[in-house]
Amino acid sequence: MSETKFIYNNYEIKEDGEKIYFEYDFEIENIAKFNPRHEILKKDFKWKHLKSNVLKNLVFNLGMVEAISYYKATCSKKFYIKCGYLNDEQSKWFRKLYYLGLGEFRYKNKINCEEEEEFVNFISEGKELDLEDFNEDQDGILIPVGGGKDSNVTMELLKDKFENVNPFLINGKENSYECIEIAGFEKNQIIEVNRILDKNIIELNSKGYLNGHTPFSAMVAFLSYTICFMLGKKYITLSNENSANESNLDGTNINHQYSKSLEFENDFRYYCKKYLKAGNTEYFSFLRPISELQIAKLFSRFPKYHNVFKSCNVGSKQSPWVWCGNCPKCLFVFTILSPFIEREKMVKIFGKDLFEDESLKDTLIELCGFGEIKPFECVGTYSEVRFSINKLIKDYQNNNQKLPYLLDFYYKNFELEDVNPEILKDYDTKNNLPEKFEKILKENL
């Protein structure tokens, strides 16, 4: 951790005829200043409470998450807050988010820090806001959409079950808009936010300052909660599955998907209720009780999305978004869907048969849990991947078909496991689904 000071100077809420702006002022003392912002497209939505202290408090707290993208350049041990106030419990809450949310970042940058208290110290120098009572009725659903199979399943299962349902996009890509259109929503129903990063952080990265993965889903949590307050919405239905709870290194709490985990979800729900006081909006993952494998099976039933969905992070840097066909995420999605979608269609979706790509051998080993680490991507559990691989091998053998390279490699080097279909019936009761949402999910399993 650096002896430099990170300073959260200010936040502002502005608006014009087309947009609402959340603007931030951060700095690393004597090194760089940063002014990122969020731009919310107003469209014809009825935005409320723009002058309220509750909204100011929401935007201030959102800034604590937005700051992570800039704080990480130096990991300054002292973090000064000049525009607001965190009490001891709030400071501890954010310290945990920074520590675990940057777990992969710490691992890859070889930052040895065993205790959260050693990582960052928040020093509040601003005033605490007086929050007015808020008792307004709220209804409607916000569905964050990322363009992958999971959020498409959530959209498909919920879109016709409730009124006042809106997809939510942050820096939406072309394929995400296509998925939303396929689901039956009009463009004017999409709640859109542009997240504008300050380019100074890119310059610092080019100079060798620290860089790496941040807990993006934590930012989605605070931003979506803020949007719901301004629109009077009741539910934020995430699409994080049970598999997101597994760490990337056995015996550690280093988890690429920490801010998608149930642990973070529970922490965030607690924080909202105690410190944000923005009504009764409920934040939960609709798919939490089930696995990536079960989601893949559900997704296979909705072929209208199959040629459009994307979730490859490497390919997301291209326009249009593509499957790169060479990364852990691509191989994982190809593997998890293959038991439920015929081979010819999978090859069409990805542009090639990934099981014939010899360069992906080591990636397969890691995805199956036979390597040192689980790939730092949003991928499922070892048991899910091995189930898919073993089922595919047995299906090929039963049909007297030649095994593609990766399946043949697995067959020759690892012991085959029993394919127990009961894994497709698993249901984790540790979740936050309201009863009416749980009923819909169970009906579709």
Same-domain pairing of 367 and 252: no
| Strand ranges (E), 296-406 | none
Note whether 195 and 321 are same-domain residues. no
302 within a domain of the structure (yes/no): no
Residues 235 and 108 in one domain: yes
Q: Does residue 432 lie in a domain region?
A: no
Question: What interhelical angle do 435-444 and 149-158 show, nearest 10?
Answer: 110
pLDDT (tens digit per residue) in 22-80: 999 999 999 999 999 999 999 999 999 999 999 999 999 999 999 999 999 999 999 99
| 232 and 100 within one domain | yes
Give yes or no for a contact between 265 and 224, defined as CB atoms under 8 angstroms apart.
Answer: no
Tell me, yes or no, whether 299 lies in a domain.
no
Domain that holds residue 228: 2-129+137-285
CA distances from 27 to 3, 4, 11, 192 (A): 14, 10, 13, 28
Residue 350 shares a structural domain with residue 246? no
For residue 328, give the nearest of 363, 371, 284 by alpha carbon: 363
The Cα 98–Cα 51 span in angstroms is: 29
> Looking at residue 2, what is its pLDDT?
66
**pLDDT in the model for residue 96:** 97
Please tell me whether residue 15 adopts helix, strand or coil conformation: strand
Answer yes or no: is 353 within a domain.
yes
Same domain, 54 and 186: yes
For 39, the token pair is 């731009």
Closest CA to 290 of 429, 169, 167, 394: 429
Q: What integer pLDDT is reported at residue 205 of this predicted model?
A: 94
Same domain, 230 and 155: yes
Tens-level pLDDT at each residue, the chain (445 residues): 668 999 999 999 999 999 999 999 999 999 999 999 999 999 999 999 999 999 999 999 999 999 999 999 999 999 999 999 999 999 999 999 999 999 999 999 999 888 888 899 999 999 999 998 777 889 999 999 999 999 999 999 999 999 999 999 999 999 999 999 999 999 999 999 999 999 999 999 999 999 999 999 999 999 999 999 999 999 999 999 887 888 887 778 888 899 999 999 999 999 999 999 899 999 999 999 999 999 999 999 999 999 999 999 898 888 889 999 999 999 999 999 999 999 999 999 999 999 999 999 999 999 999 998 898 898 999 999 999 999 999 999 999 999 999 999 999 999 999 888 888 999 999 999 999 999 999 999 9
Q: Please indicate, yes or no, whether residues 384 and 267 belong to a single structural domain of this protein.
A: no
Alpha helices in 44-102 (DSSP H): 53-66, 68-71, 88-101
Whether 150 is covered by a domain: the verdict is: yes
Domain count, the chain: 2
Q: Which amino acid does the sequence have at 142?
A: L
Sign, CA torsion 108/111/112/114: negative
- Asked if residue 182 and residue 35 are part of one domain, the reply reads yes
> Both 343 and 272 in a single domain?
no
Sign of the four-CA dihedral 223, 225, 226, 230: positive
Q: Is 234 part of any domain?
A: yes
CATH of the domain at 55: 3.40.50
User: Are 118 and 155 part of one and the same domain?
Assistant: yes
What is the full DSSP assignment across 190-246?
Answer: -EEEEEE--THHHHHHHTT-------HHHHHHHHHHHHHHHHT--EEEE---GGGGS
Q: Is residue 15 part of a domain?
A: yes
- DSSP secondary structure code for residue 314 in this structure: T
Q: CA of 220: how far to CAs of 144, 205, 214, 216, 370, in Å?
A: 8, 24, 12, 6, 33
pLDDT at 418: 87
Report yes or no on 291 lying in a domain: no
Same domain, 279 and 337: no
